[in-house]
C-alpha cells in the first residue's frame, strides 16, 4: 500500500467510526487496487458478531461515499435490532 492509499484508509476508517458510533468497531480495513478496479472490504464487530462492508469501483475515491453510506445503514440496522430484537 502506498502513502496515498494509507492516508485514504486512515481517513475512511476515521469517518466510518464517526458514522458507526459506539458499539460497532472496525476490526480490519482491506484495500486492493489493480487492473482498473479498486476494492475495499471493512470487517466490523457488532455486538459479538462479524459483518463485512465491501465496495468495488474504478478507483478508491469512488468507493468513499458508498462505504460511508453502508456504514450508516449498518448503524441504523443495529439500533433497530437493539430496540426490537430478542431481549
pTM summary value = 0.86
CATH number listed for the domain at residues 3-77? 3.30.160.100
Q: From CA 55, how far away is CA 40, in angstroms rounded?
A: 6
pLDDT at 82: 75
pLDDT at 83: 82
So where are the chain's domains?
3-77
Q: What are the pLDDT digits (tens) for 23-62? A: 899 999 999 999 889 999 999 998 888 999 999 999 999 9
Q: What are the pLDDT digits (tens) for 53-82? A: 999 999 999 999 999 999 999 999 888 877
71, burial (CB in 10 Å: exposed 0-12, middle 13-18, buried 19+): buried
Amino acid at each position: 500500500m502506498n502513502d496515498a492509499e494509507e492516508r485514504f484508509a486512515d481517513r475512511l476508517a476515521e469517518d466510518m467510526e464517526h458514522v458507526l458510533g459506539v458499539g460497532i468497531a472496525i476490526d480490519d480495513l482491506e484495500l486492493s487496487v489493480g487492473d482498473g478496479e479498486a476494492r475495499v472490504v471493512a470487517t466490523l464487530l457488532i455486538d459479538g458478531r462479524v459483518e463485512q462492508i465491501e465496495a468495488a469501483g474504478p478507483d478508491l475515491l469512488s468507493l468513499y461515499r458508498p462505504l460511508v453510506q453502508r456504514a450508516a445503514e449498518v448503524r441504523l440496522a443495529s439500533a433497530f435490532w437493539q430496540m426490537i430484537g430478542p431481549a
